[in-house]
Structure 1
Amino acid sequence: MGAQARQDRLAALLEPVLAEAGLDLEAVEVVPAGKRRLLRVVVDSDDGVDMDAVGTVSQDVSAALDASDVMGSAPYVLEVTSPGVDRPLTLPRHWRRSRGRLVQARLADGGEVTGRVVEAGDDGVVLETAGAEQAEYRYADLERGRVQVEFRRQADDDAAAD
């Protein structure tokens, strides 16, 4: 079975298991790791993912995999994780989950935009750019966005002042 076919079968098997737990499947990959393989399942939700949720869903994912033949008979290690800050923003839900964060994206027609996500809908995002001006961008006009790492976010400063 080819790598893409395996990933498609894994996604079809795991998406309902994760949906029942209130999680979205963000990525699934199988990586050679010595004599074994590493099966990495990346999950997320609008409320984020905590360690308890990862532990519980790991057991559910493991049970679903054990009941199927999608991984074959060769040994593998299962890793269930949440996406890192460097995950590209490619889907409306990624933008929505980045509300309040500073992001940078290339524009489809060239150039770049940096701003804080104010709103994110099904078709586009509103960013607060320099000078506190807001601008709306359709997803079709943006290439992949990236969250910018901030050591002191505006929201953190506001919370500290309360």
Structure 2
Amino acid sequence: MSTTQSDRLRGLLEPLVSAMDLDLEEIEVSRAGRRRVLRIVVDSDEGVELDACAELSRVISQKLDETDVMGDEEYVLEVSSPGADRPLTEHRHYVRATGRLARFQLQAGEELVARILTVDDEGIDLEVPGVKGRRPTARRIEFPEIAKARVEIEFNRKDKKEEEA
């Protein structure tokens, strides 16, 4: 996707997404056979419900029909939320992942799996699980130390809603 088209799409769609109290995380245009696919990924602090994706899809579709930003070729519009194991790249991603287990690749080459406890402007406080019955330990990582980070999928994780009940 050209920078110009990407910028035009972002400029057109960001106000629509923001009006629904969502964050525009990603815009991708790719080829699928003869058609193009426009993928829009949105998120919020509370997550994104399927109904919100469907409503946003209708609003975006209507707006795209009113403009020529996608050109004359056919395209398929997909609006979704990020996957459960998506990369953590923005400060807000770390905040939303508070309480979750994440895998970190550090700039020094170390790999670490730990639970995110708190996030501030400089970095994150983690709980590193203990090994062989040992207690978990606390660790602080500053953002510049992180090369990559990704939420780990936990099948036995207690949901925040369950903990509050």
The question of a shared fold, defined as TM-score above 0.5 by the shorter chain, is answered with yes
Deviation at 1:31, TM superposition (A): 1.1
Distance 2:120 2:74 in 1: 42
Whichever residue aligns with residue 59 of structure 1, its letter is R
- Within 5 Å, give how 1:9-158 maps onto structure 2: 9-130=8-129, 131-153=135-157, 155-156=158-159
Q: Give identity over the alignment, percent.
A: 44
Deviation at 1:127, TM superposition (A): 1.0
Aligned to 2:132: none
- Within 5 Å, give how 1:3-14 maps onto structure 2: 3-14=2-13
Report if the CA contact (8 A) 1:92-1:123 is conserved.
Answer: no
SS at match of 2:153: coil
Q: How many residues align?
A: 158
CA-to-partner distance for each residue in 1:39-85, whole Å, 9 max, x for gaps? 00000000100011111111111122122211011111100001112
Distance 2:121 2:73 in 1: 41
> What's the TM-score once normalised by structure 1's chain length?
0.89
Deviation at 1:86, TM superposition (A): 2.8
CA-to-partner distance for each residue in 1:80-120, whole Å, 9 max, x for gaps? 00111231111111111111111011111221221111112
Q: Which runs of 5+ in 1 are unaligned?
A: none
5-14 or 101-110, larger mean C-alpha shift: 5-14
Distance 1:9 1:122 in 2: 30
Q: Which runs of 5+ in 2 are unaligned?
A: 130-134
